[in-house]
Structure 1
Amino acid sequence: MNARTTTVGVAIAIHSIAASGSAQAADNVIIRNPTFEQLASLTVTSVTGTARPQFTSAAATSVLTAEEMNYIGVRNIPDALRYAPGMQVSQFNAPRWSISSRGFNTITVDKLLVLVDGRSVYTPLWSGTYWEQHAWLDQDLDRIEVINGPAGSVWGANAMNGVVNILSRSARDTQGMTLWAGTGTEEKAFGSFRYGGTAGQNAWYRAYVDYAQHDDTELGDGSPTGDAWDMTRIGFRYDRDDELNRIFVKAEAQSGHFDEPGFIPSPTPPYRTRPPDGFNRGGFIQASWARNLAESSELAVGAWYERLERRLQPTDEQSDTVDIGVRYSRQAARIHSIMAGALYRYIQHDTTSTFQLTFTPPDRTLHQWSVYLQDEVQLARQVGLTLGVRAEDNPFTGTEWQPDVRLGWSLTDSQLLWAAVGRAVRTPTFADESRTFVNQVLPPGTLGPGTPPVIREVLGARDLLSETLIAYQAGWRGRWSNGAMLSASAFYNDYDRLILYVPLPLDTVTRAPDFWTLSLLPVNNGTAHAHGAELSGAWQSRPRWRLLGELSYVDLQVLPSESLLAKNITGSSAQLQASLRSYLDLGKDWQIGVGLRYVDQLPALNVRGYVAADVRVAKALGGGVQLALVGQNLWDDRHAEFRTASFPIDPYIERSVYLALTWRR
């Protein structure tokens, strides 16, 4: 696993933290303008926790490489995920996105696990991912692995509908200096500087700093929403790789400022007020060590610590997270590849109470343990079976079991048929258990003459159970000598114990005489089923021209149908999505990338379907300098992508243009 590398282009494999805090490495081969065979040999680690060829993985996988995203001018992770089949991506306003897999597209997506170099960025306070903190798509990105469907046996609770693993390049592959700067109509200013060098034999490092400043989105009347933001990030990475050991260290700090749009509830007339400006600051340090042992075995340990201070509506929080993991893997008797590991996670959350949001108690501590075991069995030369199970203990529901079975059958060297069935859970959060969230104050007299103001609020409940999913999947992949590949998958998901909300009777006592209260209480009274399919293909019609396409369909029904929240969830995900990308090199100096997307309507949110087009034209100027002009959302002047009652404003995503200059030496 010490393949020589070059330093430009697209990464065909990865070097990352994987398997819940442990290190897992694969060869890195960085190649400009990859051939069909090189694209076909992409590997993924997110399915089983170990590097496997994507073509033979028994899962609905897609890999978005750095070069693919750069070709069409993508500037952030959410926009990149729009081109992954099965992913539901909606931008609400300048710093906020709703991102899910196979449905359940809400403002707080709680059934998708997101990893950055194997480090979980799922928050147990609200559930989901703070995308304004993790949306960076920097110059050192390697790839984004997307797994549709449950992966709880490898990654644990909340990897329910899918996993997104964002992987950066090894410091070995980012030697030298890179300067990147640009300006545009929506991204007012952005830039990054990175320098990489050697740190002795078989050791490399890089240091980097990034900055981005974003303009407001637009309201329906054309006025600014008031949601501009900016963020600065500084970091360091170290990699060492020799015959026996692999060492990985990464540290990063960031600070961002956010203008908060709209209004929040207030206890005094006019019962609403402007929110204070928001911020997001913190940092982390992450390290792992893997040791090659005798008899084709490996022992790996990893750990990370993160500190976060965040005030973005509706939350004012501070948290400290410690994650420690160990993994042992071994190739046994040629037909078994066994992996076992354990993980401990500690999270301390401190919150500041406001009229809008209170946690009881305001400070909470989470201790979480898990152990997992996986066996990849080669039943025959063309048939492989993967059996996995994870047991996880959490403070909300106790011990949860998440088993998974995957079968792959190589029909020929160029065709694979696979099937999988698995169980996954979404555990309750601190918010589900202990929040009081005021989302509106109705003025006096709303419920009749002389009645006091009425508070509408969402409560927590301490007796909630985990949401469960049994997922059934099947798929097929094929590739042909003429430079074409095709992948198809189908699924049926059966959900139980979904957390919905029931209204409580009007409370005229608890906050009287100042207020009456209308409350919603979370209960496990929801069920759902979803079925759908995803199709993706690639065709390299000419050595310098590639076409890629994606098509996905999902039909989600959440019950009971009389529940307003169930109706909203059912109608908040696009049933049909499609995209087409074209990558063309004109000689050695010019690049033209085009991305075209269609997203179906969201009937529950009164959001129309839309078409979006992105175009990038780049010219190499010599001396390691490249100039790129990018247009995004060119199909129309603006469109809406998402609505939510949590933020009663209607932002629109505008057409934008930016100019970027890159210098490498």
Structure 2
Amino acid sequence: MSTAPTNFFVRSLVATTLLCAAATAVRGASPVMAAAGRSDTSEDMELLLSDQVIVTTATKTAGRVSDSPAALTVITEDQIRASGARTLTALLRSAPGVDVMDVNSSQSNVSIRGFNDQFSNKLLVMVDGRSIYQDFYGAVFWQQEPLLLSRIKQIEIVRGPGSTLYGANAFSGVINIITKTPQEIAAGTKTFLTAERGGENGSAIESYAGGKSGAWSYSVGGGYNSSDGYGSEEKTRVPDAHSTHILMADAQRALPGGVLRLSVNTNDSKSDFSSIFLVPDGDWRSRNYTASYDQDHARNPLQIRAFVNTLDLSDPAGLNIQSRIVDFDAQQQHVVSNRNQLVYGLDYRTSEIKAFLTANQNKSRSTWSVFGQDEARLGAKTTLFAGMRLDHDSAYGETVSPHVSLVHHLDAAQTIRVSYGSAFRAPTLLDNYFNFSVPIIPDVLTLQLGGNLHVRPEKIHSYEIGYRREMKDAYVGVNAFYNQISDLMYALPTTYAPSPPFPPNTPLTFMSENIGGARAMGVELESAFPVARGLRGQFNYSYQDVKDDKDGPISFSPAHKANLALETVGGSRVSFRTDLHYVGKSIFRDLYHNDVRYDIHAYLRADLKIAYQFGPAAHPWRAFTSATNLLGDGHREFPQAPSPLSSGAQSAAAQRVIWLGVESR
């Protein structure tokens, strides 16, 4: 390792030591412990830790956050309910290390530890363990995903490489959105939400309910939301209006050996997708069908899942896309002894596309993989996680992804972790099979976009150190990381038109190429703490320094980000939550125009929700008002920059949006 990352980790270790000392001082002065008139014994802390949220994403087995071999943040159902967020991406803004960028009202992108983009492609997103990453584009279409916000049980955000367990595209992190099961819904109450918004006219409604019939539990739900878009407030009239219909149905049956679950989710949207290819009034049809079996009570449980994801886009101009993903995976946990546990499995995945981007030809690719991870107790306080995965793809061949992490409990309340992991991002189907012509000057100059079957996967090697301390009604954690990235993929010009008569460096062809590497280093601090009786706070801060191998900045990678939230807790009829999000300045490097740079200015965003609860305590209702971007500063998170394929504004300035609504849970 070079001197720079070595010095970085020396500084990080010093910072960790100082944080430990600060946390110890906070713990010693705890008014809760003093009021109780007793010492903070290890037995007390073990009881406290037993109340932690149970997570599964970092290891594919159930465990506590403090035992995780990776940097992990959880957004709970209570936090989702308390927030004023009406979209998934708005929720994710509050997490440390997460970059969220709204291009406009209809298109958002999310990344972890930098490298965000118009189509963010280095983050694996799952719903109940099912990937929703679009293999053909290398992105997640958040607004077109059939998911009800009110049905989410918790969101687990793993920062750092995840390919050992999840394969391709778990590059810089994994987000797993966990929904309530039909059994949990049937045992609870109906949920209903309706709201009207101003600032960008529109409305939203969500509702779901469940029941039982013999050995089956079932649930059904639906939702609708619409918006005129941020662009409706601008003179340039950036097209970003949308309307979305969501329908969901699933069923669950308890079997002697486990649980069978079947689900169908649909999303039909009409959306102005303001991207590289302007798609006004595009009809989006997203479908997924899932069948899973889980031996939830076996000593060595087996999990099997098969799913089909389809996405169809039809456009009045004929820019049509048909995509289908079929996936089968199986895994088993095996308890070797009381000190050793294995999890291993296999996966097979096929991806198909037929689109105007491939000259309306059918193109497909398949991948199979095997993985294993060992969790070994080296002593009463130390656990070693070591795993490896082999992926074989029909286009780019084999890729191996190792991971090792040592988790040591200094005592019952304090944990320190050191980790190394490797991951990769696979070429998209468009990287391989792009075949699209754009007439620049009819019958004179045509721009050709072509695929490349020889492009290699992007790879990352990550080194991390983390510390976490649990306290009564509070916690504090810090993570430091150094990432080395190689074989970055971009679509670059490969041939140019003659000059004269054409201007110098006028491209004729573009093709996906591996153009070099990058490095990223940073520190993430997160905490939660009581502020006063009935009032709780959360704070996190992230610093990241992301540069290419020529020491140039990487697009959409702000160095500084901070989030502060205050929310009421307890049974008060009046509740509120306010969130402040600070995002530092960054740049957008336009590789298609001689590396032109566009500044993205720093901004401060404020969100607020105030609610009043009424009705019976067993089945309460709440009337609420909420606001996103309360300051209404009109900041842009994506620049007004021309693309090589279309001209004019691509983004819209963020608008203040006020909601009025009622909800029950």
Aligned residues: CA RMSD: 2.6
Look up the match of 2:389.
390
1:643-664 Cα shifts (integer Å, max 9, x gaps) = 3544741411101100111135
Structure 2 counterparts to residues 218-617 of structure 1, below 5 A: 218=231, 221-222=234-235, 224-241=237-254, 244-260=257-273, 275-291=279-295, 296-311=299-314, 316-351=320-355, 353=356, 358-359=357-358, 362-437=361-436, 441=440, 454-481=445-472, 483-507=473-497, 518-560=508-550, 570-585=554-569, 588-604=572-588, 605-617=598-610
CA displacement at 1:72 relative to structure 2: 2.3
Look up the match of 2:664.
663
1:499-523 Cα shifts (integer Å, max 9, x gaps) = 23543342469xx9xxx85333332
Look up the match of 2:38.
none
Question: Taking structure 1 as reference, are residues 275 and 315 closer, same or farther at Cα in structure 2, changes over 3 Å only?
Answer: closer
What's the secondary structure of 1:380's corresponding residue? coil
| Identical counterparts, % of pairs | 25
* Residue of 131, 152, 169 corresponding to 1:158: 169
Structure 2 counterparts to residues 32-47 of structure 1, below 5 A: 37=48, 41-47=52-58
Mapped partners of 2:92, 2:212: distance in 1: 33
What's the secondary structure of 1:474's corresponding residue? strand
Look up the match of 2:637.
641
Cα contact 2:88–2:149 (8 A) shared by 1:
no
Mapped partners of 1:328, 1:639: distance in 2: 48
Question: Taking structure 1 as reference, are residues 484 and 439 closer, same or farther at Cα in structure 2, changes over 3 Å only?
Answer: farther
What's the secondary structure of 2:432's corresponding residue? helix
User: Going by fraction, where is helix more abundant, 1 or 2?
Assistant: 2
1:297-354 Cα shifts (integer Å, max 9, x gaps) = 1222111122321247996211222211121211112111111111111222221x2x
1:250-302 Cα shifts (integer Å, max 9, x gaps) = 211221111355996xxxxxxxxx855211113222121123687x2122211
What's the secondary structure of 2:623's corresponding residue? strand
Question: Taking structure 1 as reference, are residues 276 and 253 closer, same or farther at Cα in structure 2, changes over 3 Å only?
Answer: same
Structure 2 counterparts to residues 43-192 of structure 1, below 5 A: 43-134=54-145, 136-175=147-186, 176-185=189-198, 186=200, 188-192=202-206
What's the secondary structure of 1:277's corresponding residue? strand
What's the secondary structure of 1:79's corresponding residue? helix
Mapped partners of 1:43, 1:262: distance in 2: 38
Residue identity matched to 1:253: T
Question: Taking structure 1 as reference, are residues 586 and 423 closer, same or farther at Cα in structure 2, changes over 3 Å only?
Answer: closer
Mapped partners of 1:151, 1:261: distance in 2: 31
Mapped partners of 2:184, 2:112: distance in 1: 31
Question: Taking structure 1 as reference, are residues 642 and 502 closer, same or farther at Cα in structure 2, changes over 3 Å only?
Answer: closer
Look up the match of 2:27.
none
CA displacement at 1:427 relative to structure 2: 1.3
Residue identity matched to 1:550: N
Cα contact 1:42–1:55 (8 A) shared by 2:
no
Mapped partners of 1:467, 1:434: distance in 2: 18
User: Going by fraction, where is strand more abundant, 1 or 2?
Assistant: 1
CA displacement at 1:219 relative to structure 2: 7.4
CA displacement at 1:543 relative to structure 2: 4.8
Question: Taking structure 1 as reference, are residues 42 and 243 closer, same or farther at Cα in structure 2, changes over 3 Å only?
Answer: farther
Question: Taking structure 1 as reference, are residues 542 and 437 closer, same or farther at Cα in structure 2, changes over 3 Å only?
Answer: farther
Question: Taking structure 1 as reference, are residues 586 and 284 closer, same or farther at Cα in structure 2, changes over 3 Å only?
Answer: closer
What's the secondary structure of 1:154's corresponding residue? helix
Cα contact 1:404–1:421 (8 A) shared by 2:
yes
Structure 2: any 5+ residue segments left out of the alignment? 1-46, 589-597
Mapped partners of 2:313, 2:407: distance in 1: 44
Mapped partners of 1:553, 1:634: distance in 2: 25
Mapped partners of 2:386, 2:75: distance in 1: 27
CA displacement at 1:183 relative to structure 2: 0.5
Question: Taking structure 1 as reference, are residues 144 and 651 closer, same or farther at Cα in structure 2, changes over 3 Å only?
Answer: same
Cα contact 1:415–1:478 (8 A) shared by 2:
yes
What's the secondary structure of 1:85's corresponding residue? coil
What's the secondary structure of 2:164's corresponding residue? helix
TM-score (norm 1): 0.84
Residue identity matched to 2:104: N
Question: Taking structure 1 as reference, are residues 314 and 375 closer, same or farther at Cα in structure 2, changes over 3 Å only?
Answer: farther
Question: Taking structure 1 as reference, are residues 91 and 174 closer, same or farther at Cα in structure 2, changes over 3 Å only?
Answer: same
Mapped partners of 2:204, 2:369: distance in 1: 41
Mapped partners of 1:177, 1:88: distance in 2: 34
Question: Taking structure 1 as reference, are residues 38 and 376 closer, same or farther at Cα in structure 2, changes over 3 Å only?
Answer: closer
TM-score (norm 2): 0.84
Look up the match of 1:630.
626
Look up the match of 1:215.
228
Cα contact 1:585–1:592 (8 A) shared by 2:
no
Mapped partners of 1:596, 1:134: distance in 2: 27
What's the secondary structure of 1:172's corresponding residue? helix
Cα contact 1:187–1:658 (8 A) shared by 2:
no
Structure 1: any 5+ residue segments left out of the alignment? 1-35, 265-273, 445-451, 562-566
Mapped partners of 1:96, 1:88: distance in 2: 14
Question: Taking structure 1 as reference, are residues 134 and 50 closer, same or farther at Cα in structure 2, changes over 3 Å only?
Answer: same
CA displacement at 1:362 relative to structure 2: 2.0
Question: Taking structure 1 as reference, are residues 453 and 87 closer, same or farther at Cα in structure 2, changes over 3 Å only?
Answer: farther
